[in-house]
Structure 1
């Protein structure tokens, strides 16, 4: 069924939905809310808690007053009840004075603050007491938006989609659904969009998360069956020139790096196919370990490939590798393969790869295009963003006769969780940071510190440094009062002098556009980059020394740590400023963990401990492996169950040949074809 078949969606509106990646009614069903607004009963003014979003009701003392302040029109009223008095303000909403009359009763819902000992509420939503009564104890979904498409419009469209959509046969075997007490799919989809209670939401989200984790676990079990204890065509012998290379490095390896190199070299010489995950905190020096593995492979007379997520990062790897080869007089050739190569360059490089004139091949996913033919591909190094689906593995096997695989991950996953997430791989871990890296200095501040933070950033820029500012949203949301990239850029261009170059970056941009922005930032053509979490897996910009995260309370701790890893990439002192706009006791407790530690694994353990099942009011971000709704921290126990069920299914029906597993086999095949998570 097409989007235009729904009421209220014409050609123009359809294009707005397309911008959100929604092209069909089915896409709309699985366009899950980012977060929810919870409507609690109004509390007396005297019981309002600073930093919390609460509802309050009372009588207006006087008609609304409208005054001009700093170029903005400010509308204000005073609300009173038997327990106290509350000052309420709005900016650029003078039309409200016609509604807000002395003696009127309203319910106001917004974030509680204080000013000079007076309780305040800025930019609250207002309701008639009757209208708010209908909303009490309900959850309202909040979706990602684009300009011209309101949250109310999306809610209306999703409601229609739930009524008219045709649901596929449930692929989870009936026995598992019964044993795990899983909600029916149609109910789960409906209730994750429009839950009646938090408990209702938890059950619905749990069902949808289980589907993702079950397919993921099945794929891991299948891959493990296919690759376990397979003999390798490429048995390498340790080369003395690699030992010499390590001794001549201009820095000392950490114990973790040395241990990882030792075990990887052992894998490569074992005669069995290596399938190893190298897990290391942000900035722990995984790249040099992968370079050593590539050198060992190339000096044994074979080819090695390194795949990076972006052209810029691939270019950085290539430049570093080329310099290392030249500095050490190693007679090996490195080449760079990206989608933006000119036709002539591409032909020449492809020929060098096919004739084994190229030993170490570095690039993006363009490395595995049909026209790239390898002579002796024995090792593939990649990162967690590019674990391969069956098509990619098939392509690799055809190109390289089952090469050794080394996957690098900077996601700080606790070991107990890593054993489930990477059940198909051997895991190595680097815990220390290189000795030349200064620990990042962290500060958790409230909104009142923002102007000082801007001055601090400006002082760093005057020293020749650069800064990131992270916002949780791409564009304004008519429900959530959160910072967004689009408006923030305009705002700080007014704050900073004209010579300070400010640009934006977000996931809705085209890949080429994103690469161009990052290239300019790397070349110091941009001073401040305002971005969403899209920079989380990114390019090394050694000159960037400040990161400021707006609405920091809305992110998971592990993700904030990943973001923080974009600074502190050089010998310069780096800083991270977390702006806690909630300023509540809970948010302060969570963010203080980040302020007191730069250890990603400790932070990941704390994230695991602090995330409760009812924690649904933060902005849902893409986490490790980009599940649509599952969260590896929140769903650790669910992942354990899904893993057990996957093992059981393959034990009882190894080929998924039983008629009752026909739908499951079809769904797993589709998952393997499309997924990059394996």
Structure 2
């Protein structure tokens, strides 16, 4: 059985089983599905066609015995000679004396290394095994205790002993429709492909399988969620809501109207709402949230808005109080720094229904925070909260509707995958009159000229953010810290302009006081770490200087840039960076070429991959063994449509073709998919 421990394989004792478990391999099935992350091309290359300094695999005959010589401190050189056709050349391996036993005179061998055409020598990196059936050797992620050769040997044994037990888990109709390899052949070919096309076909099959099974779970959960009518029907006062939206000091964009209608339709439905609202920085998500909260209050329910930072909570509180009449809607703020007496009063008013809307940080999910009648939960920058934190807030009421908001734009296909059990609304239009931020990239030596220019902007009455990646001196990173920059700018701009310093190690009361001086223009320059990344709104700030910009991810740079350009004046973002590689240069160029967060997000995913961009645990993005959410997005879309179509079929799970699939889902979902 594939679920048996790897200890059933010869050569796997207690120690080796533990070492394999460290790689996530515990069963025979885990071992078979532990796919290579790349393949070494071990096609035979002729010496005449190899370029100087090219990394290649050369096959040939060993014509001299291997000799190990020692030099320096604990350094070794293993040397021998090989012959290909009639050409003899030298091979050297450094600090790998144990390879000596693999080098046997008069036997063929394949060595991967770097070719020096002038000296006619190969500096070897590895001796390739003969386990690959064709011209490709699999390369796996391993640890110090498990070597490549050991892993390949065990995988070979596993397929020899248990390969016939691999069963098809996809419906045959889909296998035929998309001309997919059988599961057994695909899994084997992922390790030992005969040629590039064989590997391509194997990977295509495994990627589709991973996406399809995942989408079956997601669509099943979505169907089960919609089938239950135990949510809340928020029957809001339509006339009051119309009056409120018409009284707003600005006209809603078409996109804002569209997503508001989608949310309001969900609120009135007795089915539980789980909706993700995406919108670029400055697209107007806050007012959409305000409309949803107001609708909830007119229906006699309470609303809760949870945000990741106290600065953002304070700002949302101020925004809502500007939009709502205090006699009609009472809004309260609850954070970690709310004083004990005030906290006690807020909690009492919340549980007896005197507070209509509560805005807060994770303080909202603490014990003792209870509601009279919670109808809507909104989580802003929801990827900052863990899944359990979001769940605790939901459980404060009886199945309240849930709206997640994020200003981290995620491509639609990725949003559907990451938050597949939710409906997705996107604000893809910016408010009229918003001037795009002009972004420039400079090298550090150009900074003095930029500071001269910013002096003129400050003279015109504007303000500036200066962002630094570190707070304190670091022995490992060559970056300038916030404190040093703060002192330099103080020396440069004093006494005419005031410089403030804000960073994450300050007390919340200190942060609030410094932020207040910047908002009121009592300080004109705010030197900060990324604590101001999300939500801070100072319309008079028209300049942003980001020091060591190549230390930040694209999505983070875009979030930071969103702090300026919030007023009617033209705004600028200057990236100060000297990237050491092409990827770093590419990121700087992307930032100067587009202000569209969705484009930035796509590029960030291409350059770094979804795991690094979002952090799997926080975002809920799934990890796949072979599939890639970015490069395989087209297969993801096909898999999603097929899963949706199957769930629309009545009682599909009882048909013989789907028995294996239904069994898998039942096991994975603990019977939550089927009655």
Range of TM-score over shorter length: 0.5 to 0.7
CA shift digits 1:117-142 (9 cap, x unpaired)? xxxxxxxxxxxxxxxxxx9999xxxx
1:348 aligned onto 2:345: yes
Partner of 1:269: 268
CA shift digits 1:559-591 (9 cap, x unpaired)? 321221111122232111122313877655543
Give the Å deviation of 1:297.
0.6
Give the Å deviation of 1:496.
3.0
Pick from 607, 611, 627: which aligns with 1:611? 607
Contact 2:418/2:619 (CA < 8 Å) preserved in 1?
no
Pick from 416, 422, 425: which aligns with 2:422? 425
Q: Give the stretch that moved more between structures: 416-425 or 518-527.
A: 518-527
Pick from 503, 506, 526: which aligns with 1:505? 503
User: CA 1:605/1:451 → structure 2, altered by over 3 Å: closer, same or farther?
Assistant: same
Give the Å deviation of 1:654.
4.7
Gaps of 5+ in 2: 1-22, 24-122, 127-142, 147-165, 170-182, 192-210, 644-657, 671-675
Q: Distance in 1 between matches of 2:589 and 2:243?
A: 44
CA shift digits 1:198-224 (9 cap, x unpaired)? xxxxxxxxxxxxxxx999999978965
Q: Distance in 2 between matches of 1:325 and 1:521?
A: 25
Contact 2:306/2:378 (CA < 8 Å) preserved in 1?
yes
Q: Distance in 1 between matches of 2:562 and 2:633?
A: 27
Contact 1:333/1:359 (CA < 8 Å) preserved in 2?
yes
1:636 aligned onto 2:626: no
Partner of 2:406: 409
Partner of 1:458: 455
Higher relative contact order (CA 8 A, sep 6+): 1
Contact 1:467/1:547 (CA < 8 Å) preserved in 2?
yes
Contact 1:505/1:529 (CA < 8 Å) preserved in 2?
no
Q: Number of aligned pairs?
A: 471
Please report the RMSD computed on the Cα atoms of aligned residues, expressed in angstroms. 4.9
Give the Å deviation of 1:269.
1.0
Partner of 1:484: 481
Partner of 1:230: 228
1:290 aligned onto 2:284: no
Contact 1:420/1:640 (CA < 8 Å) preserved in 2?
no
TM-score normalized by structure 1? 0.58
Contact 1:303/1:360 (CA < 8 Å) preserved in 2?
yes
Instruction: Find the residue that maps to 1:450 and give its secondary structure.
Output: helix
Contact 1:489/1:504 (CA < 8 Å) preserved in 2?
no
Give the Å deviation of 1:410.
0.5
User: CA 1:366/1:182 → structure 2, altered by over 3 Å: closer, same or farther?
Assistant: farther
Contact 1:306/1:382 (CA < 8 Å) preserved in 2?
yes
Q: Distance in 2 between matches of 1:650 and 1:517?
A: 58
Q: Distance in 1 between matches of 2:221 and 2:349?
A: 32
CA shift digits 1:473-521 (9 cap, x unpaired)? 4444445433333433333333332553241424x55666555544444
Instruction: Find the residue that maps to 1:373 and give its secondary structure.
Output: coil
Q: Distance in 2 between matches of 1:602 and 1:291?
A: 27
Instruction: Find the residue that maps to 2:353 and give its secondary structure.
Output: coil
CA shift digits 1:262-294 (9 cap, x unpaired)? 111111112211110110000000000000000
Partner of 1:357: 354
Q: Distance in 1 between matches of 2:273 and 2:457?
A: 45
Partner of 2:536: 539
Contact 1:518/1:539 (CA < 8 Å) preserved in 2?
no
Give the Å deviation of 1:376.
0.8
Q: Distance in 2 between matches of 1:241 and 1:561?
A: 37
Contact 1:396/1:403 (CA < 8 Å) preserved in 2?
no
Instruction: Find the residue that maps to 1:636 and give its secondary structure.
Output: coil
Q: Distance in 2 between matches of 1:297 and 1:651?
A: 39
1:375 aligned onto 2:372: yes
Give the Å deviation of 1:346.
1.6
Contact 2:554/2:600 (CA < 8 Å) preserved in 1?
yes
TM-score normalized by structure 2? 0.59
Partner of 1:601: 598
CA shift digits 1:51-97 (9 cap, x unpaired)? xxxxxxxxxxxxxxxxxxxxxxxxxxxxxxxxxxxxxxxxxxxxxxx
Partner of 2:569: 572
Q: Give 1:640-651 correspondences, 5 Å limit.
A: none
Give the Å deviation of 1:396.
3.5
Give the Å deviation of 1:428.
0.6
1:557 aligned onto 2:551: no
Contact 2:272/2:401 (CA < 8 Å) preserved in 1?
yes
Q: Distance in 1 between matches of 2:502 and 2:467?
A: 10
Give the Å deviation of 1:470.
2.4
Q: Distance in 1 between matches of 2:361 and 2:428?
A: 27
CA shift digits 1:594-618 (9 cap, x unpaired)? 223221112223334x5277x99xx
CA shift digits 1:9-68 (9 cap, x unpaired)? xxxxxxxxxxxxxxxxxxxx9xxxxxxxxxxxxxxxxxxxxxxxxxxxxxxxxxxxxxxx
1:317 aligned onto 2:316: yes
Q: Distance in 2 between matches of 1:404 and 1:264?
A: 10
Larger Rg: 2
Contact 1:650/1:656 (CA < 8 Å) preserved in 2?
no
CA shift digits 1:174-214 (9 cap, x unpaired)? 99999889999xxxxxxxxxxxxxxxxxxxxxxxxxxxx99
Contact 1:239/1:300 (CA < 8 Å) preserved in 2?
no
User: CA 1:527/1:226 → structure 2, altered by over 3 Å: closer, same or farther?
Assistant: farther
Q: Give 1:231-250 correspondences, 5 Å limit.
A: 231=229, 232-237=231-236, 239-250=238-249
Pick from 397, 400, 403: which aligns with 2:397? 400
Partner of 2:437: 440
Give the Å deviation of 1:557.
2.9
